[in-house]
Chain A
């Protein structure tokens, strides 16, 4: 690996994976860039996952920034998906955000490692207060009567 390649990799790791700032760089400025990058990612994820973002209200950018600080981006669709699954597994995903995840899970197959693909078979997912049914690519959300 060339010197430039190694140094570029070091810098990207400092900005995305919680690694130390490489020697000689202005730590304050690299930190400002790291935070700006997380804010930009939060904005992109909120466009793909509006209900997930809305569930945090004003705290969205900070919460996403905390979750994503040591997780380099896999693209905003997968970033939001991974965060939603993580929250779901800890019982912290509720309401429209849970429905949004269930709807995606019914529509697309995502193994956590590669680009989500449309499901070819019918799927059924339940979320807080709702059931999501996907058949032949069409998705319906059936809410339980309250």
Chain B
């Protein structure tokens, strides 16, 4: 078994985990981060992408709101290129009139959220599809974030500061030492799910940043943490019906926010307690509810084309949690020091919070780590931009602009989201990549209207060629032998990927070693299944037409149901499967 010695082991490659790794590495600590899948496989990659102004919590949770606005302003600098400056509206619909709007305004003022009431006419001029019956509009500095890019950029920043990032490494056990009175977590045994190798990682401090899996991980140390997994379902529309974040000005509830996110807009969410973080089933009523609620803010919303639906899990934590209602739980961060709580040393859990406050959560965590390690090192993340931030905020047209300026029209692989061949080749070389789904997170492959209809086979072909030429390796190690360079700052930019890393590749003779972990048929099947999972809950109207065409391409033309290597599976194959058994209600409908 391999053995790594480190000061800090971070478990979880979401926003929080990468943030902790980044912060700790900047403070000069030796850090290893492990993630069981790709970065942002969990909740960080499955939310609506709101950069909170804090407005949503201004009335009920002023502490959470204050954290949001402070972090909002910091991330706009440190992660500038991961954010679109959309601004945000809180709109008062006829049914929402009452005391709340004034409370909202006062709440924003109390915690310092810039909040300006603007004339309805101006709001309608800026967002012409908005319900004209709204009576008041408040503008706040909400934004839209690319949480995939942000976690990757944060990980790169951590790695540049010396951290080691191990994706597709699953914790199989925590290393427990000491007796009944001085138990401590001394690291973890991790399993490389790609190569099958196990590694013992010994650490002075282990951080549980496992998000929705926090409870499960803590249980490995014999600690009980009541994490309430609260499922939120989101629905993405085919194009941006609004270019500003639109919130209902009322107590947060289901389907009251529309977030423009790159080329789509996302409505969210539901809030349903679930027993397990995976698998998540999207119920028909959830989709219906989202569209009905969307229709109230943007009349006609429910008739627009729906692209897909997905669900994420909020890792809600409350010590004295009793009510059973997810929305009542505070959204402020929770740092659990298990030495103080349960007498288990060397082990911290960071949970609660939200994407917008991930940096603050990391700061609090690493402050505590330093205290435990007996060292005093100030946090510098608030003033240290991650690689790529110099690009400034992204804007919806930036890819089209770059494609046009550099005349890359004929290079497109994913036509919907304007992904060029070189972007794919470089993404495969610049950070660990196992599946096309990883590529989706890296460069937005397959996220557009055709949902992979035209790019899946193209991207598979490209990776297959790279594999054969030895210019891409499926190798999740992060050491000298690693092919991946961890350069993700410009992955999203067609104009900055004019030259392929693959072209400059020098044959290192390692290509043959990893053949088993890559198979083009599996790559294709996995991604088709992954996309299928997201469109099934919304399969009607225009997206049904689209899927019919996709079906003809893959089933009739390519006969993918009868490709060889059927028995192969990747670590994520199972995740892409979903339960298609009809519910009792659905059966009754038939």
Asked if A and B are interacting partners, one says no
